[in-house]
C-alpha cells in the first residue's frame, strides 16, 4: 500500500503500536525521539526503510516520523510478510528471526558498553569539580553538560549511571525539579579514589594498589573498630592504637587469626599503617609499640573495596 504525505504531515508517533514497514519511495521523512531531544534530526530519503522491528516483532515505533516535503511511502504489513514467507522455504523465516534477535543483542551490548564507557567521564568530571570547589555537591545540569561535552553522553545515560552509583551508596541525587537537582558525594574522597583506581587498572593493565586483599581489609576494619569503640582522638587526621589492642581485637573479630608482622607488612608497605618504630617483617609484631593511620583515608579505602567488586554488576 502506498501512502502520500504532504509536507509537515505525520506518518506515525513514537511509541505507537506498529506492524508495518515503511519504505520511502520519494520525498523525505524526518525522525525525532523524545528519548534524545538534543540529538540531530534523522533524515530518511528515497530507498530508506523504517520499522523492520514493527513488521517482524510488532515493536512500538522508535521515532516520530514527519514528512519534510511531499513524500510517498510504501507500507508493507504483517499479512504481506506472512504471505510472502509461506511461499518460501521455512529456513528463510528462521534467518529473519535470527537476524532480528542478533540485532537486539547488539543493541543491548551497545547500551551496556555506552554505560560502562561513560563511567570514567562521569567520575573525572565529578572528581575535578569536588577538588576545584571543595564542595561535595555539584549541580546536575552542570554535570550533564560537561559529560555531554567530554564524551557525548546524553543526560538520560548519565542519570542511569548516577542511579547505579547511588545504589552503591557513593552519592545521592538531591532536589525535586530537574533544574534544581544536584549530585552530592557521600565523601569528598571516594569519587576521586574510585576514578584513580579504575584509571590505574585501565592504564597499567593491573589491579590498583587501592584494591586490598581480604586480610588487609580485615586488619583495617579491625583498626576502625578499635578507634570507634575506644574513641581514640584524632591528631592532624591521624589515629593511634597500640599493637596490643590491635592483636586482641583481631583475635576477636578475625575468627581467631593471630596477627603477625607478615600480615601487617603489606599495609605498612602501602603506608596505610605507620609503625611507631622501624618495621622488620622478620621481627615479632610486639617489637612495634603502636601504629597510626589516616582514619578518613582508611574509611574511604574500606568503602572503595566494598563497592568495587559490585560495580560492574550494578552498572549492567
Partner 1 sequence: MITGDSHQQIIPPTRTHVKAGFVVYSPVTHSRNIIILDEGELAAIERNNGIKSTVFKMHPGDLIGVASLLEHEDFRYAIEATQDSTITVVTEECMESELKTLPVWMLAVIKSLSSKTRKLKEALHHTRCQNTLKSLAEYCSHLQAKVEYPLEDFLREYQWITKISKATVLEDIKALARRKFLVLTEGGEATTLRIVNPLLLQIYVDYQNAVEKNVSWAPFTLSLNQKRLLVYLSSIDQNEKKDAPDWIATFMAQKFKADVSEWIHMLQLGWFKAINENAFAPNTDKIKYFLAALRYETNIRGVL
Closer of 49 and 281 to partner 1 (Cβ) = 49
Among 120, 139, 175, 266, the residue binding partner 1 under the rule CB under 8 A is 120
Note the maximum CA span of the chain.
Answer: 91
Residue 262's nearest CA partner among 281, 245, 234, 277 is 281
Among 107, 230, 258, 277, the residue binding partner 1 under the rule CB under 8 A is 107
Among 60, 139, 145, 175, the residue binding partner 1 under the rule CB under 8 A is 145
Report 40-69 residues binding partner 1 (CB under 8 A): 49, 52, 55-56
Asked if 304 and 316 count as a contact pair (C-beta separation under 8 A), the reply is: no
103 binds partner 1 (CB under 8 A): yes
19 binds partner 1 (CB under 8 A): no
Stretch of 7-15, 57-65, 83-91, 159-167 lying at the interface with partner 1 (CB under 8 A): 83-91
DSSP class per residue in 126-182: HHHHHHHH--SEEEHHHHHHHHHHHH---HHHHHHHHHHHHHTTSEEEE-SSGGG-E
Buried-state track 59-73, b at ≥16 Cβ within 10 A, e below 16? bebbbbbbbbeebeb
Give the relative orientation of helices 295-315 and 155-167 as an angle to the nearest 10 degrees. 120
* Smallest separation, CB 149 to partner 1 (Å): 4
* Smallest separation, CB 9 to partner 1 (Å): 22
Task: Give me the residues paired with residue 113 across strands.
Answer: none
Closer of 91 and 313 to partner 1 (Cβ) = 91
Report 21-40 residues binding partner 1 (CB under 8 A): 21, 23
- Between CA 271 and CA 58 the distance in angstroms is 61
CA dist 197 → 67, 94, 120, 261, 263 (Å): 50, 46, 11, 27, 23
Residue 190's nearest CA partner among 121, 141, 136, 266 is 136
DSSP letter (8 states) at residue 106: H
* Smallest separation, CB 67 to partner 1 (Å): 20
Closer of 131 and 167 to partner 1 (Cβ) = 131
Alpha helices of the chain — where are they, by DSSP H? 52-57, 78-86, 90-133, 140-151, 155-167, 190-204, 214-230, 243-253, 261-269, 295-315
106 binds partner 1 (CB under 8 A): yes
Stretch of 116-124, 135-143, 181-189, 297-305 lying at the interface with partner 1 (CB under 8 A): 116-124
* Smallest separation, CB 219 to partner 1 (Å): 32
Among 61, 65, 124, 140, the residue binding partner 1 under the rule CB under 8 A is 124
Closer of 32 and 100 to partner 1 (Cβ) = 100
* Smallest separation, CB 234 to partner 1 (Å): 30
Report 195-234 residues binding partner 1 (CB under 8 A): 199, 202-203
Exposed/middle/buried for residue 91 (C-beta within 10 Å: 0-12, 13-18, 19+): exposed
Among 110, 167, 228, 271, the residue binding partner 1 under the rule CB under 8 A is 110
Closer of 17 and 110 to partner 1 (Cβ) = 110
Element (H, E) at 241: strand 238-242
Which residues contact partner 1 (rule: CB under 8 A)? Answer: 21, 23, 49, 52, 55-56, 74, 76, 80-81, 84, 88-89, 91-92, 94-96, 98-100, 102-103, 106-107, 109-110, 113-114, 117, 120-121, 124-125, 128, 132, 145-146, 149-153, 199, 202-203
Amino acid at each position: 500500500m502506498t501512502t502520500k504525505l504532504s509536507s509537515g504531515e505525520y506518518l506515525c508517533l513514537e511509541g505507537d503500536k506498529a506492524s508495518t514497514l515503511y519504505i520511502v519511495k520519494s520525498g523525505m521523512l524526518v525522525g525525532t525521539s523524545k528519548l534524545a531531544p538534543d540529538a540531530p534530526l534523522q533524515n530518511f530519503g528515497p530507498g530508506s526503510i523504517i520499522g523492520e522491528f514493527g513488521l517482524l516483532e510488532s515493536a512500538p515505533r522508535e521515532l516520530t516520523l514527519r514528512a519534510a516535503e511531499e513524500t510517498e511511502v510504501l507500507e508493507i504489513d504483517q499479512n504481506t510478510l506472512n504471505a510472502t514467507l509461506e511461499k518460501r522455504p521455512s529456513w528463510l523465516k528462521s534467518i529473519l528471526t535470527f537476524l532480528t534477535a542478533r540485532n537486539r543483542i547488539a543493541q543491548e551490548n551497545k547500551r551496556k558498553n555506552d554505560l560502562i564507557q561513560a563511567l570514567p567521564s562521569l567520575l573525572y568530571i565529578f572528581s575535578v569539580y569536588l577538588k576545584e570547589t571543595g564542595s561535595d555537591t555539584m549541580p546536575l545540569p552542570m554535570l550533564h553538560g560537561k559529560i555531554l561535552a567530554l564524551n557525548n553522553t546524553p543526560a538520560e545515560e548519565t542519570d542511569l549511571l548516577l542511579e547505579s552509583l547511588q545504589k552503591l551508596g557513593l552519592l545521592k541525587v538531591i532536589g525535586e525539579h530537574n533544574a534544581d537537582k544536584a549530585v552530592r558525594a557521600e565523601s569528598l574522597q571516594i569519587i576521586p579514589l574510585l576514578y584513580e583506581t579504575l584509571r590505574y587498572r585501565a592504564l597499567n593493565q593491573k589491579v590498583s594498589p587501592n584494591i586490598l586483599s581480604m586480610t588487609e581489609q580485615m586488619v583495617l576494619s579491625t583498626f576502625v573498630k578499635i578507634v570507634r569503640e575506644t574513641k581514640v582522638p584524632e591528631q592532624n587526621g591521624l589515629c593511634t592504637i597500640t599493637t596490643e589492642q590491635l592483636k586482641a581485637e583481631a583475635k576477636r573479630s578475625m575468627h581467631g587469626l593471630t596477627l603477625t608482622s607478615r600480615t601487617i607488612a603489606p599495609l605498612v608497605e602501602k603506608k596505610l599503617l605507620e609503625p611507631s618504630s622501624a618495621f622488620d617483617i622478620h621481627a615479632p609484631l610486639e617489637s612495634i609499640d603502636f601504629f597510626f593511620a589516616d582514619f578518613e583515608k582508611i574509611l574511604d579505602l574500606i568503602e572503595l573495596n566494598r563497592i568495587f567488586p559490585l560495580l560492574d554488576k550494578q552498572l549492567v
